[in-house]
Amino acid sequence: MTTAVDDQALERAYSSVSETYKGTGDLHAACREARAKSPIFVGDFIRQFGIPTNAGLQQGTRPTFALFRHQDVMTVLRDANNYTSGFIAEGLGAFFDGLIVLAMDGEQHRSVRALLQPAFMPHTVNKWREPIDAVIRNDFLKEMIPLKKADLMEFGLGVPIRVMYALLGFPTDNKEQYRQYAAWALAMVGGNQVDPQRFEEARRSAGVAVARLYEVIHEVVVERRAQGSPGEDVIGNLLRAEHEGRMLDDHEVTTFVRSLLPASGETTTRTFSSVMTLLLTTPGLIDRVRADRSLVPKLIDETVRYEPVATFKMRETANEVQFHGVTIPKGSFIQCMVVSANRDEEVFEHPDVFDIDRRVKPSFGFGFGPHMCIGQFVAKIELNCAVNALLDLLPNLRLDPAYPVPVIEGAQLRGASHIHVLWD
């Protein structure tokens, strides 16, 4: 299927999502203050920042609570029996015919996750390291090197999309269309709007994007199955996957691949922006990492703790529960404030200090428990390759003093909008 390419569609979609979930106020300060007052907040904590949430979309229908402590967030995220995710199908999941892993619980989640997981395990994704590195160096940085200056966000937006769509199994003869596909995927994320006047328009745009992506992916899936389902990419693995005698049909493969697209580029891009912002603004850090590349994984892990892209995870209580003397009724929403738990003073020493040398402890940037991010290993390889390639090929990489210092912001989805740099 040939698609007309709008060169600026991706940038517009990304900016729209950033604006939608940016919100107002200082999220870290608000969480720090709330955490000091009480480990639990009765009400929709995130609503004060003016961004759409699952609770907000169903305002008034269910009691809502927020948890700030590391141990409490871990308790909820690891227990999928008492704290469920099915409500997601009422919002974002509606775009995927309910076939979205994030919105599944119980046996359905276990069986589908077992079919999807092998395509994203380390032994599989490690095979992609060299191709990813080649794409970054040859398709992107080779053209950038002579420019001596750039906004790294243009690189950060393009690379994950090119890499992930190839690894998913999209045809490589229409790479220029990947950006349009990614723009459609982001339109799905932007379908939730806190502004009622924009809500219907955003949902209509998201519906169109969902339909177009389905057509594109389904065509690829049908063709690949007719070829015998070859290849070690995600679509090939899903077409061959079998769990307890069950295999996925074309509709399921198409819908699951479509549900992976928003995170496959957008989340990695935001993480990249935070990694590079912290690398370039933390005194002396870039010199250390340039000299010792074994620090790159630590840089990534500490960034995911310090500035997680998704600031909270939502769950619904399957039974009445209690936290810190507060009774939470069955059917309530719980906002697990990941951004707060990752800076809990009871777990992390000097939590508001960015320190790549700190002792590794569980943080929740990629989630936790049964619903932990299925693509985290792919994202880490992409980020590792990107940082190493930038340090290898852009000598004396530094911030451009002609532009403002990049800032990591966002009440629900965090990241930097621009990272203007120079190199020799």
pLDDT of residue 198: 60
Retrieve residue 106's tokens. 């119980």
What value does the mean pLDDT take over residues 338-366? 95
Say yes or no to pLDDT of 296 above 80: yes
Res 84 pLDDT > 90:
yes
pLDDT tier at 309 (50, 70, 90 boundaries)? very high
More confident call, 267 vs 388: 388
What the block records as the tokens of 152 is 């790294």
pLDDT value at 194 more than 50 = no
Residue 306 in contact with residue 285, Cβ under 8 Å?
Answer: no
Distance between CA atoms of 106 and 167, rounded to whole angstroms?
29
Closest of 176, 179, 195 to residue 187, by C-alpha: 179
Q: How many structural domains compose the chain?
A: 1
Q: Is residue 386 part of a domain?
A: yes
What per-residue confidence (pLDDT) applies to 364? 95
CA-to-CA dists, residue 7 to 12, 156, 177, 184, angstroms = 10, 16, 9, 13
Q: What is the mean pLDDT of the chain?
A: 87
Nearest to 42 by CA among 347, 344, 324: 324
Phi first, then psi, for residue 110 (nearest 5°) are -60, -45
In the chain, the percentage of residues whose pLDDT exceeds 70 is: 88
Q: Is residue 94 part of a domain?
A: yes
Task: Examine residue 217 and state whether it is found in any structural domain, yes or no.
Answer: yes
Q: Report pLDDT digits (tens) over 32-50.
A: 999 999 999 999 999 889 8
| Residue 230, pLDDT score | 79
User: 362 or 69: which carries more pLDDT confidence?
Assistant: 69
What is the total residue count of the chain? 424
Q: Is residue 354 part of a domain?
A: no
Kindly report the number of other CB atoms within 10 A of residue 168's CB atom. 22
- Structural domain including 217 reads 9-347+362-416
Residue 163 is predicted with a pLDDT of: 82
Is there a domain that residue 138 lies in? yes
Tokens for 355, please give them.
Answer: 């320190």
Paired tokens of 109: 């989640």
Contacts of 247 by beta carbon, 8 Å cutoff, 6+ apart: 115, 240, 241
Q: Which residues, in sequence order, are bridge partners of residue 67?
A: 40, 336
| Residue 341 covered by a domain | yes
pLDDT of 168 over the 70 cut: yes
Amino acid at 387: V
Cα torsion for 273, 394, 386, 21, to the nearest 10°?
A: 10
pLDDT digits (tens, 9 = 90+) for 200-247: 666 677 777 778 888 988 999 999 999 987 777 889 888 988 877 888
C-beta of residue 113 within 8 angstroms of C-beta of residue 259: no
Count of Cβ atoms closer than 10 Å to residue 72 Cβ: 21
CATH of the domain at 234: 1.10.630.10
Q: What is the DSSP string of 104-135?
A: --HHHHHHHHHHHGGGGSHHHHGGGHHHHHHI
Residue 352 lies in a domain: no
Does the pLDDT value for residue 263 go beyond 90? no
296-301 own/partner pairs: CB under 8 Å, 24+ apart:
296/384, 296/387, 296/388, 297/380, 297/384, 298/356, 298/357, 299/275, 299/356, 299/387, 300/271, 300/275, 300/380, 300/383, 300/384, 300/387, 301/356, 301/360, 301/363
- Residue 193 has a pLDDT of 46
Instruction: Give per-residue pLDDT as tens, 370-415.
Output: 999 888 998 999 999 999 999 999 999 999 999 999 999 999 999 9
User: What's 365's DSSP letter?
Assistant: T
> Does residue 1 lie in a domain region?
no
